[in-house]
Chains A and B, each alone.
Chain A
Amino acid sequence: MLLLAGLVAATFVGSGLDAGEPLRYWGTQEAPSTGWLDTGRGALYEVRVGSEIPGWGRVKEVHADHIVLERILTEDDKRALREQGALVHDAYEIHLPREDLRHPDLTVPHPPSR
């Protein structure tokens, strides 16, 4: 799936992402083990299993229709959860679907143009 129009491709270099920023997955390209992520700021990053994405974690799996990231919680993270009375877990496993699968298009049928 190639949905890269208008985006600038770059190799992810491990900086510039904050956890609060949206992260979107655009699928694999030629190499099935390589996926494309963007931060919503126009830059596109090439990632593979093991790539570290600051604020989001490490790429664990790359699939055509989704990518899996793993973020291990620090002791500070856990302490913050505990202080809120929240469930304390050890890791996040983040399953990010390919962006275009989230909003498929219902195309207008033969739009009349009278």
Chain B
Amino acid sequence: MSAVHVARHVPRAVALLLLIFTTPCLGFETPTHRIINRSAVESSVTFHQLLRDGMGLIRGVDQALRGLTILDWIGEGGVAEDQLFGIEMLGGLTRSTRHFHTPLLGWEQSGLSLPPLPRFESSVRWAQSDQGILGRFAWSDARTRFFDAATGRTEVDRQKAFADTFLTIGQLMHLVADLAQPAHARDESHALGDDFEKFMADPDNDYLITGFQTFDPSILQVPTNDPVAKVPVAHIWDTNRYNGTNPPDETTAPMFGLAEISNANFFSPGTIRSFAHSDAIRPLPALNLLDLASIVPYVTGENRQYRGKSGSGLRVERMVAEGVFYRFLPPFVFNFALDDGVFREYAGHLLPRAIGYAAGLLEYFFRGRIEIAPPARFAYGLAAYQPGNSGSFRALRFRVRNATPGEDTGPGQLIAVAQYRESVTGANLIDDPFAPISAELSYAVSKPFAVTLTPTFQELTFDFGEKPIPSNVADLFLTVVYRGRLGLEDDAVMVGGKDLFEPAPIDMANATDWECFQGGLHHVADLTAYPPYGPGQTARDVNHDGVPDLAGPFMVRGQFLKTFDFAEPGPGPSESNFDLSNSVEAPTQYSRVILLQDRPTYGATVLSREIQAMPSGGIGTNALQSATVPGVFNDTTPGPDGTLVRRVRPSTVYRGVPLHFGLLLTTSATVPCISNTGLLPPSLTRIDGIVPSP
């Protein structure tokens, strides 16, 4: 190896040593990032609502996943982005060197420059690139994890994928927060540390990590035209609007990326420029544009002089502190500093934006919304009752639409997921609604199919044939997951959820074997005691007025039950439109359907084509009657102080049958006595009705 050759490698070796023995560019220190991320999460009401109402994570950001809450995971993401294999030193050498973005450079060269090393990838691209052996915490990785979490088939898999999703999101938020550190937007490596970062890392200054200022959402509706940072979330970094002459000010700042605001308005310790436009990538601010002066007592007791700016971007009262010898030195001698007074002022502008822009990334990631509504037939699912409540729903039918404001979807894949708890002992939850239910959630995942969601509702049928949803479950929640194009983002993931009421049995019972007249109950099915009325047969003339008072029992032929939404009542029951049907129902018989629906109360109408009085043979036709049905729940909800409440709507027992809701066929004279009929013998017996195909 020649001397020249060796000499050429010396600077690289020095740079490498510098990298090894320092942590050159961590950005805000990790405790600061943790607080920023947590503050961003806590400021986002929509995120909390999506977790709770769209994904069935009932405690929202406080939901525990693998020992930490969602809020914790995102906070820890703020820490992890500066680490590699959990080690901050390694992270400082690898990941943190990708935490820079200088907005006045093209994105292919806007990362950290540390000559003679090649320029590092900028954070705007790092967030969307293949990070290779340095980790997998880019936007696309978060997307994949979110999809895996939302469509996972076991609680263990889902919890892991959700935890990874939120950790990765936290790491992406870290990249945004670092842009509020001017050195990271002005290409200053600060190999020996940065005073602003140290200032913010002082726990006494944690109170400055507060406030909320964010961008105009319209900046995310513009294509990036970058081959790596394709998703418009990149505009949170840089909108490419700032050109060195139009610094973001109080009015225009929301239309700029955070790197542009930092670069154009604030100094970093090593980039204080005397004259505007003397530096191509840091044309502003500059000392010659500072037009405000103030004298503020410093912590040491001295009166320190500060200079600030009223224009050229944001108004900043304290841009720099004058050095002690400033007035005794000629103007070309540099004697300015960034002290705690300056940093406090910078923090007042930058930390609310770190929080607000990081929250903006979080909300953009979870912006997709799918709205779910009942199908035209009302019931999401219909299942024939099986002994022991062992039936299941093999398909669900409902309507979905893209409810994301201002963004259309393209072709994508749609999957429905039902989460629920099962009876631990195998007890029938209709008979024993207080039976213990599983601590772990179970999941049924539908077959995926291709669809383009539209802003208007489409009715779809989801096939759960591979793993049907059992009818004997509690705490049921329905989610739909879409993966495909959303707005300008390819391969986005969006979700929608619906807390369905629990599977509910509806019964149609023929209770005409007993009749009431004037307060007295008569077992009219006993034709020996109550023979058909006629000459010499007066048992049915209870008040002996010569007119029969008891007509039953009755046989029903052609019976159709249809449920409906009071808000959108559809066609009534018929041979072609029913949820449950019987060809014949004799006295003491009942039939049952289990249905899934989403309303606290809904309607049920029964059409009886023919009701025949068995003793006399007389026939009534086409009886149509409706009733209000209360929804059934057996679920969990957060209680006060972190407690968990199990909400149960218990069943009752009517003539030996545990039921939630039964439509009883009786005579009108029996209605006043109905409260006395619940314990009458014999017990009702179930017949199989006809339940339409899913």
Cα distance A93–B648 when bound, in Å?
Answer: 6
Known A5-B673, A26-B675; contact A92-B434, beta-carbon cutoff 8 A: yes
- The total of Cβ contacts below 8 Å across the A-B interface reads 170
Give chain A's interface residue range (CB within 8 Å of chain B): 35 or more
Are A91 and B639 in contact, CB atoms less than 8 angstroms apart? yes
Interface SS of chain A: loop
For residue B653, CB closer than 8 A to chain A, the reply is yes
Are A93 and B646 in contact, CB atoms less than 8 angstroms apart? yes
A94 CB contacts on chain B under 8 angstroms: 647-650
| Minimum C-beta distance from B677 to chain A (A) | 9
- 1/0 contact string of B652-694 vs chain A (CB within 8 Å): 1110000111111111101111111011000000000000000
| Minimum C-beta distance from B651 to chain A (A) | 8
Are A114 and B616 in contact, CB atoms less than 8 angstroms apart? yes
Flag the segment in B221-229, B259-267, B345-353, B625-633 that touches A.
Answer: B625-633
Cα distance A63–B551 when bound, in Å?
Answer: 37
| Minimum C-beta distance from B67 to chain A (A) | 17
Q: Which residue of A lies closest to B630 (CB)?
A: A97
Cα distance A4–B673 when bound, in Å?
Answer: 9
Which single member of B618, B619, B625, B661 contacts A106 (CB below 8 Å)?
B625
| Minimum C-beta distance from A105 to chain B (A) | 5
Cα distance A111–B509 when bound, in Å?
Answer: 17
Which single member of B421, B551, B652, B671 contacts A24 (CB below 8 Å)?
B652
Are A87 and B439 in contact, CB atoms less than 8 angstroms apart? yes
For residue B436, CB closer than 8 A to chain A, the reply is yes
For residue B117, CB closer than 8 A to chain A, the reply is no
Which single member of B434, B437, B620 contacts A111 (CB below 8 Å)?
B620
Known A5-B672, A104-B664; contact A109-B630, beta-carbon cutoff 8 A: no
**Which of A3, A88, A92, A104: most chain B CB closer than 10 A?**
A104
| Minimum C-beta distance from B604 to chain A (A) | 9
Cα distance A39–B285 when bound, in Å?
Answer: 80
Are B672 and A92 in contact, CB atoms less than 8 angstroms apart? no
Are A5 and B519 in contact, CB atoms less than 8 angstroms apart? yes
Q: Which residue of B lies closest to A56 (CB)?
A: B650
B437 CB contacts on chain A under 8 angstroms: 86-87
Are A103 and B649 in contact, CB atoms less than 8 angstroms apart? no
Give residues 218-277 of B contacting A (CB, 8 Å). Answer: none
A93 CB contacts on chain B under 8 angstroms: 637, 645-648
Q: Which residue of B lies closest to A22 (CB)?
A: B653
Chain A positions near chain B (C-beta within 8 angstroms) = 3-7, 22-24, 26, 40, 65-66, 81, 84-97, 99-114
A-B contact pairs, 11 of them (CB 8 A): A3-B674, A5-B519, A5-B672, A89-B644, A92-B434, A97-B649, A102-B659, A103-B661, A106-B664, A108-B611, A113-B551
Q: A85-B424, A89-B646 are in contact. List 12 more A-B contacts (CB 8 A).
A: A5-B672, A6-B673, A40-B653, A87-B437, A87-B646, A90-B639, A103-B663, A106-B625, A106-B666, A111-B620, A113-B551, A114-B616
